[in-house]
Amino acid sequence: MSGEQNSESRRLRLEIFRYNPQDEGSEPHTDVFEVDETPFMTLFIVLNKIRETLDPGLQFDFVCRSATCGSCGMMVNGRPALACRTLTSDLPEEITLYPLPAFKLVGDLSVDTGTWFRGMSERTEAWIHERQAFDPAVQEERMSDDIAAAIYENDRCIECGCCVASCGVANVDPEFLAGAGLNRVARFMVDPRDKRSDAEWFDVVAGDEGVFGCFGMMACADVCPKELPLLEVYAYLRRKTLGARFSGRDRRQ
Ligand code: SF4
Ligand code: SF4
Ligand code: FES
């Protein structure tokens, strides 16, 4: 059962990728560490234990420890996951940890997701393109509960990069928007404060770097720690962009 604790303590064997691209003498390799498992141990706890007691030079990222900041994504036994919410009791005794692919390596398990997300945000202009300039003297317009809920759902993305790392297309094409990018586009398409027409969105999201470059096997949704409904997001984007393309009309919703 998920999260179940063993009555007998196990000795975990962790094989961890090591490489410092800033150090000319560094070569990619793996190091093996052994750690006694404790109840409700997460990979975050294991990595801190290794750094505190066995190797102070081990590089990895974390901030929140609660699946909120998106910093601690890594490949856990070949699958992208958040270290802070992965219980060792859900894993075998032999654990391999590698950095997320598709992002620039900082060192060991630490990657630079920020550059990828900034590039995606700039290419899609992921900010509100106002229909009208803000006027503090005018009463606020009310947004429908359904639209507010839809925006909130898209905004639950924590930018961990797990969907990008799992995506075969994103791994060979650094400009492919992947789950996080397509979800971000949908967030602004849904928002009635954004003035971009469906035809304008077509130029942003259609094509090989957008929703029509997606193979649709949904590895991204399988690994998303926030369980975002990415299948529905892609269906929405295809419907909206194809509608604009073939009807020649700008239809909202
Ligand atoms: S469904 Fe599309 S975005 Fe998701 S992993 Fe597959 S190719 Fe990438
Ligand atoms: S869509 Fe999910 S997996 Fe992708 S970055 Fe956002 S939270 Fe992470
Ligand atoms: S440390 Fe913040 S998501 Fe894991």
Q: What is the pTM of this model?
A: 0.93
Which pLDDT does position 253 carry in this prediction? 43
Does ligand 2 come within 6 angstroms of the Cβ of 99? no
Domain 11-98 and domain 113-245 have a common topology: no
Which pLDDT does position 198 carry in this prediction? 87
- Out of 65, 157, 159, mutate this one to test ligand 3's pocket (max ligand atoms within 8 Å of CB): namely 65
Which pLDDT does position 248 carry in this prediction? 54
Q: Domain boundaries in the chain?
A: 11-98, 113-245
Could you say which residues of the chain have pLDDT below 70?
A: 1-7, 245-253
Q: Which ligand is nearest to the CA of 217?
A: 1
Rounded distance between C-alpha atoms, residue 58 and residue 48, angstroms: 9
Which pLDDT does position 251 carry in this prediction? 42
Give CATH for domain 113-245.
1.10.1060.10
- CATH label, 11-98, candidates 3.40.50.10210, 1.10.10.60, 3.10.20.30, 3.40.710.10: 3.10.20.30
Which pLDDT does position 132 carry in this prediction? 83
Atom of ligand 3 nearest to the CA of 82: 4
Which pLDDT does position 250 carry in this prediction? 46
